Amino acid sequence: MFNRLLSTQIKQIARANASANFRISAMRPTIHKSLYSSAAALDRDQIKERIFGVLRDFDKVNQQKISETADFTKDLGLDSLDTVEVVMAIEEEFNVEIPDDDADTINTVSKAIDYIEKSEGAN
């Protein structure tokens, strides 16, 4: 008798579980492949405009001198700490992490653009 009762309860649980799984799977959110595939690479003009935007947000930057060839120190008037802040803002803007050794070499707008252009996962 115990086995029959147990068997009946197991079958009921299995049926309930099967129908619950069906309902749960029907309610699962759809995850689009695009969320997992690599995004289209940013083109140079998009990167340039976004970096210009980052630079415009810094009060210390001479707005009239922002150009693709501008040097952060010589042309834009930034000191070394300001340059670090700009690179950090670029990291945030493009959702990338720039290692310190690479960050030390980014001292012009064109080098920043080149770095982001080559970075996988920049968006």
Q: Active-site residue among 57, 75, 79, 100? A: 79
Are 50 and 93 within 8 A, CB to CB? Answer: yes
Taking 50 as the threshold, does the pLDDT of residue 31 lie above it? no
71 catalytically annotated: no
pLDDT of the residue at 32: 42
pLDDT of the residue at 12: 65
Which domains are delineated in the chain? 65-121 (1.10.1200.10)
For the ranges 3-12, 28-37, 107-116, the one whose mean pLDDT is highest:
107-116
- With bands split at pLDDT 50, 70 and 90, how would you rate the model's confidence at 1? low
> pLDDT digits over 36-52, tens only?
445 557 899 999 999 99
Name the phi and psi angles at 4, rounded to 5. -65, -45
